[in-house]
Structure 1
Amino acid sequence: MLHKETVKPGTLDLIQALIKDNQLNSFYLVGGTALSLRIGHRESIDIDLFSSSDFDGNELAEHLRNKYGADVKRNKENYVSGSIGEVDFDFISHKYPSIKPIENIEGIRMMSNQDISAMKINAIVNSGQRIKDFIDIHYLLKEMQLDEIIGFYCQKYPNVDPNTAKSSLMYHSDIDFNVPVKLMDGKLKWQDVQDSIVKAVREYTRIQEIKELNNKLKETRNDNKNERGRGMGR
């Protein structure tokens, strides 16, 4: 069941209209709005629609203007942004592998929490300015371990460094705390977010150290077996 209270009625109506539009059938909802509809933690006011395919930015911009009265701010190959009424939107070609299949929930195509968690880590690594990304990770940590989230990040974005993800989660100096985020329960403080992330990073570090020790132990045992095997053949 979607938490429709996390978006304004006009925003939800627009999402549903865009998703039903036959000319937009390769796009699906991602980002904070998809996550808010799924878990109900905060209000989200914009629409991010991604596609795994290429698209013509000029054609899409023209379609959005003609059908929805869109005010297109930017358009180029594989990217269109602007607003429809008071709702900001981004259409982006995002050609990275999906961790889970795109889901259709109550008529809205959207990305999985696993994929969203990977994208949130990617946003924090590349910017680290948006407090809402850290808040989203805080709530995602109630559903999955950081070890899983960083694993999804590495799976979705090849050649990234998990240690960079860990460091970025711990670095908060670039966060813009002046941008308001409306939480549905209204009780969360930044210290709660910071504490949960720091705790998760420490646990992640501990898990990685254990994995590394186990791998070294396996290598040592394999080497010992090989040595014994060579000795028996002499």
Structure 2
Amino acid sequence: MHEKVLPGNSKALLAEIDSSGSDAVRGWVLAGGTGLALRCGHRISVDFDFFRTVGMDQPALRDALGSIDTYETLQDSERTLTVLIKGVKLSFFQVRDPFLYDRDPYSFFELADIREIALMKLVAIANRGSRKDFVDLYTILRDGPILQDYFRVLPEKYGQERINAYHILKSLTYFDDAEGEPMPHMLEPFNWEECKAFFVREAHAIILG
């Protein structure tokens, strides 16, 4: 794994959570940009997005985090807890969507498969595509399965009734929101214009069949 993608305070926080001994922090799956960065080493990533499909014990989770340090609660709702602790944002989500691919153990959690993260990034872009989401998905697609392969698998993860393929394809060619955001701190050469052209080309190829 590419631990160079984690700032020092993030690595230290993971170690403290791991040593807390609380069952509430076990059984989570790390996905999102940091999960991908640990696998690919393409950029610095500071936030942690953890997921699980079984019930989460939010009071126990809050107690476990509170035993490490005081924290600011950014969101505390049913099946979601997001906090800022020691300058690091941690999000915990209980989701109904199954994990389709095997995960790898890492620290106190498991790392989502790159293909799993790609499916989640497609849905994130459909909701509101950030520049980081485009950068991450492009990084995956440059060296892995083609975009159309992921569209075939999306219904298996999210259900056919929740997938609007045409809307997702349109979102892959809409960059207005992303253009207003800074580039992530990249650890390898990256061309934003090539990234945009890639998605336009791939989306049009799927639409035209």
In 1, Cα distance between the equivalents of 2:42 and 2:165? 26
In 2, Cα distance between the equivalents of 1:183 and 1:108? 25
Counterpart of 1:202 in structure 2: which amino acid? H
In 2, Cα distance between the equivalents of 1:127 and 1:31? 14
Contact kept in structure 2, 1:58 and 1:75, CA below 8 Å: no
Structure 1 residues 201, 19: closer, same or farther in 2, change over 3 A?
A: farther
Q: Deviations over 1:10-45 (max 9, x none)?
A: 212323443564331121211000000001111101
Q: Deviations over 1:141-169 (max 9, x none)?
A: 12220012222333211121222211110
Unaligned runs of at least 5 residues, structure 2: none
In 2, Cα distance between the equivalents of 1:177 and 1:50? 28
**Does 2:163 correspond to 1:166?**
no
Aligned to 2:133: 133
* Alpha-carbon shift at residue 106 of structure 1 (Å): 6.9
Look up the SS of the partner of 1:149 in the other structure. helix
* Alpha-carbon shift at residue 136 of structure 1 (Å): 0.8
* Alpha-carbon shift at residue 108 of structure 1 (Å): 4.8
Query: Which piece of structure 1 moves more, 11-20 or 40-49?
Result: 11-20
Look up the SS of the partner of 2:73 in the other structure. strand
- Could you list the structure 1 runs, at least 4 aligned residues long, displaced by more than 4 angstroms after superposition: 105-108
The 5 A counterparts of 1:18-167 are 18=17, 21=21, 22-105=23-106, 108-128=109-129, 130-142=130-142, 143-158=144-159, 159=161, 160-167=163-170
Structure 1 residues 162, 198: closer, same or farther in 2, change over 3 A?
A: same
Aligned to 2:205: 203
Contact kept in structure 1, 2:30 and 2:48, CA below 8 Å: yes
Aligned to 1:10: 9
Which structure has more RCO (C-alpha within 8 Å, separation ≥ 6)? 2
Structure 1 residues 201, 23: closer, same or farther in 2, change over 3 A?
A: same
Look up the SS of the partner of 2:84 in the other structure. strand
Look up the SS of the partner of 1:67 in the other structure. coil
* Alpha-carbon shift at residue 176 of structure 1 (Å): 4.8
Unaligned runs of at least 5 residues, structure 1: 210-234
In 1, Cα distance between the equivalents of 2:153 and 2:13? 30
- What is the root-mean-square deviation in Å for CA atoms of aligned residues? 2.1
Contact kept in structure 1, 2:27 and 2:110, CA below 8 Å: no
In 1, Cα distance between the equivalents of 2:146 and 2:76? 38
* Alpha-carbon shift at residue 200 of structure 1 (Å): 2.1
Contact kept in structure 2, 1:55 and 1:77, CA below 8 Å: no
Identity %: 22
Q: Deviations over 1:184-228 (max 9, x none)?
A: 12x32320110121222233335xx3xxxxxxxxxxxxxxxxxxx
Counterpart of 2:199 in structure 1: which amino acid? I
